[in-house]
């Protein structure tokens, strides 16, 4: 797996001057990436001036170097290892994209076959994990189960916990990518009281996931080609997205030397929030709360009201200030999937399309460059496929595991890697003496 070229080794970098409040001027290197904005390397700032930078939410801060994914938010462009997401979604498949994200190049035929075979032969989970599941309440949210079970993998696979051993790192990576669909499907089966279905190694990654989720032992089940392809594409679209909240969480957790299973569990926890991966679930809830096209204006008035916390879920993105390219792909797939399933007029899709049309022409959204993101449509497809709403974010986590693992490996292999330790602007009380109980006001 591929590590970045450290900024420190780059020669002849231009500089930016900074004059601190005492009048002292220092030169800070300005570093070029391959494409995208340059960065000011502020690592020497504190030593030279005693100043920190302040950037809550990292709106202007690059936290690492990476060669994996590039987003141009103004153009609405997403590249995995340089390849546009639209081309990958059209011509590739999830296993090939996983290989690309992990190793940096598209695989040759024999490389792909070996990779698929290696992943496929890690799909079963330790049998004792089935016992572990039984400790959860039946109504537990699948993401709660995923956080717990994925974290617990570190208690089962002691032979792949040494992060300093490249072979163990690779085995842990393969195990995570292979077992996460099994765990997600088990979370679903447990919630509906059906028996766990063991993985089938004669099926493709997406097909096997559909099988483990929807098959039952008493009937034969053949996943449809259209649904398998649509799910595989959903996995490709969600595979990585550079330094988003969950990926940054994985990197930060991993920076302390924590094992990869624990780091991915941390990523799952971060993804769960409605501002991130939880948005696909929130979109469906929002659409059913709105209920009908007539109620859209009333809903949008609430969204625009500063005193109301309601947001148009599935709209807006920290980086994309244009149409999310993933949303464009998934929007087309929506029609194909609903067609395959014989759903002619889906009220939720109709409502979503109307909402999209109105929002894209509304000054509030236009001025703030708020466009539909991937989550606006993914929930509609997943619901049509038969996944319960509570599984949507679990599916996102399944696909994103590839990106998390690749980003984690890149960090471990980066010679400049340090434990992540942000500083703060302290605004609390200055030092003061302890006040005995009887003297407290």
Catalytic residue positions, numbered? 317, 375
Between 227 and 370, name the residue whose CB sits nearer to ligand CMC. 370
Q: Is 313 in the site for ligand CMC (CB under 6 A)?
A: yes
Name the residue number minimizing CB distance to ligand CMC: 316
The answer to whether the beta carbons of residues 74 and 317 sit under 8 Å apart is no
Tell me how far apart the alpha carbons of residues 86 and 83 are, in angstroms, rounded to a whole number.
9
Quote the least distance from Cβ 399 to ligand CMC, whole Å.
Answer: 12
Tell me how far apart the alpha carbons of residues 279 and 287 are, in angstroms, rounded to a whole number.
12
Q: Is 321 exposed, middle or buried (0-12, 13-18, 19+ CB in 10 A)?
A: middle
The answer to whether the beta carbons of residues 330 and 234 sit under 8 Å apart is yes
| Binding test (CB under 6 A) with ligand CMC, winner from 186, 279, 286, 399 | 279
Between 126 and 311, name the residue whose CB sits nearer to ligand CMC. 311
Quote the least distance from Cβ 172 to ligand CMC, whole Å.
Answer: 25
Quote the least distance from Cβ 320 to ligand CMC, whole Å.
Answer: 8
Q: Is 175 in the site for ligand CMC (CB under 6 A)?
A: no
Quote the least distance from Cβ 231 to ligand CMC, whole Å.
Answer: 18
Q: Is 321 in the site for ligand CMC (CB under 6 A)?
A: no
Tell me how far apart the alpha carbons of residues 347 and 418 are, in angstroms, rounded to a whole number.
51
357 to 396: interface string for ligand CMC, x by CB under 6 A: -----------x-x--xxx---------------------
Assigned token pair, 378: 């993914």
Q: Is 277 in the site for ligand CMC (CB under 6 A)?
A: yes
Between 181 and 379, name the residue whose CB sits nearer to ligand CMC. 379
Count helices and strands (H / E) in the chain: 18, 6
Q: Is 316 in the site for ligand CMC (CB under 6 A)?
A: yes
As a residue count, the chain comes to 441
Q: Is 302 in the site for ligand CMC (CB under 6 A)?
A: no
Quote the least distance from Cβ 233 to ligand CMC, whole Å.
Answer: 16
Q: Is 163 in the site for ligand CMC (CB under 6 A)?
A: no
**Residues that contact ligand CMC, how many (by CB under 6 A):** 20
Q: Is 403 in the site for ligand CMC (CB under 6 A)?
A: no
Q: Is 67 in the site for ligand CMC (CB under 6 A)?
A: no
What is the rounded (10 degree) CA torsion for 401, 403, 405, 409? 180
Quote the least distance from Cβ 79 to ligand CMC, whole Å.
Answer: 16
| Piece in contact with ligand CMC (CB under 6 A), picked from 71-79, 117-125, 160-168, 275-283 | 275-283
Quote the least distance from Cβ 239 to ligand CMC, whole Å.
Answer: 12
| Binding test (CB under 6 A) with ligand CMC, winner from 157, 174, 205, 315 | 315
Tell me how far apart the alpha carbons of residues 389 and 404 are, in angstroms, rounded to a whole number.
23
**Measured distance between the N- and C-terminal CA atoms of the chain, rounded to whole angstroms:** 60
Between 293 and 318, name the residue whose CB sits nearer to ligand CMC. 318
Assigned token pair, 110: 């024999």
- Backbone φ and ψ of 125, nearest 5°: -105, 155
What is the rounded (10 degree) CA torsion for 227, 229, 232, 233? -110
What are the residues whose beta carbons fall under 8 Å from the beta carbon of 140, sequence distance 6 or more?
187, 191
Element (H, E) at 209: helix 205-214
Tell me how far apart the alpha carbons of residues 175 and 172 are, in angstroms, rounded to a whole number.
5
CA 142 to chain centre: 16
Between 43 and 357, name the residue whose CB sits nearer to ligand CMC. 357
Tell me which residue of 338, 95, 337, 385 sits closest to 214, measured CA to CA.
Answer: 385
Between 64 and 153, name the residue whose CB sits nearer to ligand CMC. 64
Tell me how far apart the alpha carbons of residues 196 and 186 are, in angstroms, rounded to a whole number.
6
| Binding test (CB under 6 A) with ligand CMC, winner from 31, 311, 341, 389 | 311
Quote the least distance from Cβ 44 to ligand CMC, whole Å.
Answer: 29
Between 60 and 130, name the residue whose CB sits nearer to ligand CMC. 60
| Residue 321 DSSP symbol | S
Tell me how far apart the alpha carbons of residues 176 and 263 are, in angstroms, rounded to a whole number.
11
Between 163 and 374, name the residue whose CB sits nearer to ligand CMC. 374
Q: Is 312 in the site for ligand CMC (CB under 6 A)?
A: yes
| Binding test (CB under 6 A) with ligand CMC, winner from 141, 189, 251, 276 | 276
Tell me how far apart the alpha carbons of residues 37 and 311 are, in angstroms, rounded to a whole number.
29
Between 198 and 323, name the residue whose CB sits nearer to ligand CMC. 323
Q: Is 200 in the site for ligand CMC (CB under 6 A)?
A: no
Q: Where along the sequence are the contacts to ligand CMC (CB under 6 A)?
A: 241, 244, 275-277, 279, 303, 311-318, 368, 370, 373-375
């Amino acid at each position: 797996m591929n590590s970045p070229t450290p900024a420190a080794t780059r020669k002849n970098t231009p500089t930016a001057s900074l004059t601190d409040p005492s009048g002292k001027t220092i030169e800070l290197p300005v570093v070029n990436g391959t494409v995208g904005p340059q960065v000011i390397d502020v690592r020497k700032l504190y030593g030279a001036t005693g100043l920190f930078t302040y950037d809550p939410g990292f709106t202007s801060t690059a936290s690492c170097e990476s060669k994996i994914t590039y987003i141009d938010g103004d153009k609405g462009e997403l590249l995995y290892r340089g390849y546009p997401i639209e081309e990958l979604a059209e011509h590739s498949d999830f296993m090939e994209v996983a290989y690309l994200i992990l190793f940096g190049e598209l695989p040759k035929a024999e490389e792909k076959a070996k990779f698929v075979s290696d992943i496929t032969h890690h799909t079963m989970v330790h049998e004792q994990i089935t016992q572990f599941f039984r400790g959860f309440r039946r109504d537990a949210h699948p993401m709660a189960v995923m956080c717990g079970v994925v974290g617990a993998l570190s208690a089962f696979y002691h032979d792949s916990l040494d992060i300093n051993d490249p072979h163990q790192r690779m085995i842990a990576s393969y195990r995570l990518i292979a077992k996460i669909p099994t765990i997600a499907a088990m979370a679903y089966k447990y919630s509906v009281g059906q028996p766990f279905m063991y993985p089938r190694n004669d099926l493709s990654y997406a097909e096997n996931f559909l099988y483990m989720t929807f098959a039952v032992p008493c009937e034969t089940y053949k996943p449809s080609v259209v649904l398998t392809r649509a799910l595989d594409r959903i996995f490709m679209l969600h595979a990585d997205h550079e330094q988003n909240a969950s990926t940054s969480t994985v990197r930060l957790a991993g920076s302390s030397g924590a094992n990869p299973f624990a780091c991915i569990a941390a990523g799952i926890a971060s993804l769960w929030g409605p501002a991130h991966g939880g948005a696909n679930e929130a979109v469906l809830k929002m659409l059913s709360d709105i209920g009908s096209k007539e109620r859209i204006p009333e809903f949008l008035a609430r969204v625009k009201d500063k005193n109301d916390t309601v947001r148009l879920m599935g709209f807006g993105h920290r980086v994309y200030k244009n149409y999310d390219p993933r949303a464009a792909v998934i929007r087309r797939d929506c029609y194909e999937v609903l067609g395959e399933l014989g759903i002619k007029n889906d009220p939720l899709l109709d409502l979503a399309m109307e909402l999209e049309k109105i929002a894209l022409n509304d000054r509030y959204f236009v001025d703030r460059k708020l466009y539909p993101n991937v989550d606006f449509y993914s929930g509609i497809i997943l619901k049509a496929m038969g996944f319960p709403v509570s599984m949507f974010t679990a599916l996102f986590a399944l696909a994103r595991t590839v990106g998390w693992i690749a980003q984690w490996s890149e960090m471990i292999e980066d010679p400049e890697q340090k434990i992540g330790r942000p500083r703060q602007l302290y605004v609390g009380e200055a030092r003061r003496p302890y006040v005995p109980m009887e003297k407290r006001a």
